[in-house]
Structure 1
């Protein structure tokens, strides 16, 4: 993993690496962002709420191929792995519940199920967290693992959930958790209640490459998440454009569209999937929310939202190169890494073409999210 991604300010870190002539770091960062892996463990009883939660994190309904099943056909002592159908680098692991026996040795459970290999762990429950789960949490903290979260799964917002949260916080405090947090999550509608807050906290706790992997793999839930995805992809575009501009000291007119089309297709294909704009994702979302898929598909006005083709990407890159007069030279200079400014034509064309495409695709995703949220009220 590139050291460039250890900071929590991706674009500024990439710029600093480029200015310091660390091109290999930026190349690694581009690959890490395009192929980034994250493993999340979900601990708790194999109940309907937990099964629904696992499916929702992958944008799946119970009838979809690959969905987690309830009741489970797997032994409660076994770990079940669930790859994401669209993001092969995102995998959820259904871990058995923590034993309620006393005395309890947390090292036994953590060793048996390789607890520390997961980038983050959700300790799920539907009433109050049991004492041994809190012991696991405290042990993880001793081992410098800050990405373990207590998640109270509820079907809908009501008064009892606030009572359950309060009781749960009291349990955590009584067991020695200094700053207890309990996130209330509706497993079938993740955009509701505390899940957006949980995502925000995870973004601060996880190493940046893992935070981006999680962000890009999750189904679109809110306009804010669409914006976050868009900004992440724009940072990726900046890195790719910088490499294009920085690799050649004698840029040749109209060459960038040929050189950069492959990376452009990779970035925009991942953008399309991450924003849930491909036909399969739109149809699946419509089915989950009881909407007409044709209605949602009609909201896609950018051709790349429906299909990312190399021909369309080449056309956009070539058009941007021919029309660089619309880009303020001062703005280009401000955006570019210092040593790449002699190659401003290639940099600006790539930046303009791909960023414009991402803006258009994000606008389509935002329209879809707005309709889904409006219908869900």
Structure 2
């Protein structure tokens, strides 16, 4: 793996702090900074606000973006009338630091657009998604201007696109063209918002019943680009595994993280305490491998949900998983067994011995530990990412 391609996972400031600590011989400080950086990325809070007029599908979107069905325990309450009377937080089932807020509809007697943001405590949200199931109205435009004035990001989502396309297909049996209809809807939304005073509005057309269609990937890419670095990672990892491009993006994001995990392992290995580095490497590998399985939706709960969504038996999905590690319990015993085999075991044995040799021995142990952790994580990430692709393809497979 090329080192320079992985440095975008650590900020220039962090890198300078680690370099400075190592140059000063302060290994403890370097280790602490790397560990802190990993924790900051993993635990970065992300608060997403879903708003708009009542009846636009806000609650359904809150559930969909968290990979949940409307009738699932912990899901947002949905209905044909306004069901949200106050800002309601819904945490992600796998990533508790990600919270999607179902906000009351604008323009209702309870929440006028002019004082809406103060009522819902706008400062706690990282960005707003303003939803409409028809044309965006005055309340949506007023709200967007207020958000803009407060220097927050906002995006427009035109929901229920599948219903519009179906209606158009019924009315235009001979001339129906999906691409043209989508362009008409998008252009009309943009024109309406520009006339209302919104410059360069970002509008995304979505089907809440099937997020993979239409503009979801465009919205995901836009958010990924515009979120701060420490928020971007957790957003990408937490979004539903609904397509092959998303799986590939997750694989790339996690691949970049390997540099930090390996560097942390390396830094700990330079501390001349027998057994400390081995224990640290085992802990790092367990944590990282579990996080990979969760991110790709290959844990038992996620597989069950995926099977139910596509009307499959979960055994069908498990049947295409090739890596024996994915379906096993990832624990200390398993990881020690893995790194004790072949080259990995030899490296660990050398590392343990080298950690007792002052200065040069510690430096050698650091390099060995870096290489071992990197080798293990790269191999597991490759296997689990390929399994995730096979599972999704199996789920999408149409019975003959």
Please report the TM-score for the alignment, with normalisation by the length of structure 1. Answer: 0.83
Note the alpha carbon deviations across 1:208-241, whole angstroms, 9 max, x for none. 1111111111121222211221222223222121
Residue 116 (1) aligns with residue 123 (2): yes
1:250 is displaced (CA, Å) by 6.6
1:347 corresponds to which of 370, 373, 386: 370
Q: Distance in 2 between matches of 1:275 and 1:11?
A: 23
1:349 Cα deviation from its structure 2 partner: 0.4
Cα 1:302–1:46 shift into 2, 3 Å: farther
Match of 2:203 in 1: 182
**Are residues 1:204 and 2:236 paired?**
no
Summarize deviations over 1:27-66 as a string: whole Å, max 9, x none.
2111123323211111124537333322211111233222
Q: Which one of 335, 352, 366 corresponds to residue 389 of structure 2?
A: 366
Tell me the equivalent position of 1:85. Answer: 93
- The answer to whether residue 337 in structure 2 is matched with residue 315 in structure 1 is yes
User: Secondary structure of the equivalent of 1:187?
Assistant: coil
Alpha carbon RMSD of aligned pairs, Å? 3.0
Q: What is the TM-score normalised by the length of structure 2?
A: 0.79
The residue aligned with 1:59 is 67
How far apart are 1:172 and its partner, in Å?
Answer: 1.1
Looking at structure 2, the residues matched to 193 and 370 of structure 1 have their Cα atoms a distance apart, in angstroms, of 19
Q: CA deviation at 1:272?
A: 1.0
Q: Deviations over 1:100-143 (max 9, x none)?
A: 78xx763x211110123111211011111112222222222232
Indicate yes or no: 2:10 matched with 1:19.
no
3-state secondary structure, aligned to 1:91 = strand
Alpha-carbon separation, structure 1, partners of 2:33 and 2:81: 45
Aligned to 2:321: 300
Q: Is the 8 A contact 2:156 2:203 kept in 1?
A: yes
Aligned twin of 1:172: 193
After superposition, give the CA deviation of every residue in 1:140-166 in whole Å (9 maximum; x if it has no partner). Answer: 2232223x1100112425455433322
Matched, 1:98 2:109: no
Q: Distance in 2 between matches of 1:191 and 1:67?
A: 20
2:239 to 198, 201, 218: 218
1:302 shift after superposition: 1.9
3-state SS, counterpart of residue 325 of structure 2: helix
Number of matched pairs: 353
Counterparts of 1:341 and 1:43, CA distance in 2: 55
Q: Given that residues 70 and 76 in structure 2 are in contact (C-alpha distance below 8 angstroms), is that contact kept between their aligned partners in structure 1?
A: yes
**Kept in 2: contact 1:268–1:308 (CA 8 A):** yes
Shift in alpha-carbon separation, 1:134–1:374, aligned structure 2, 3 A: farther
Q: Which has the higher contact order (CA 8 A, sep 6+)?
A: 1
Unaligned runs of 5+ in 1: 1-7, 326-338
Specify the SS of the correspondent of 1:368. Answer: helix
User: Secondary structure, in 3 states, of the residue corresponding to 1:26?
Assistant: helix
Select between 268-277 and 340-349 the one with higher mean Cα deviation: 340-349
| Larger deviation, residues 172-181 vs 76-85 | 76-85
Flag the 1:168–1:48 CA change in 2: closer, same or farther, 3 A: closer
CA–CA distance in structure 2, aligned partners of residues 83 and 94 of structure 1:
11
* Unpaired stretches in structure 2, ≥5 consecutive residues: 1-6, 22-28, 166-177, 349-361
Does structure 1 conserve the Cα–Cα contact (< 8 Å) formed by 2:54 and 2:106?
no
Structure 1 residues 303 and 96: CA distance shift in structure 2, 3 A: same
What residue number does 1:153 align with?
159
Quick check: 1:244 aligned with 2:243?
no
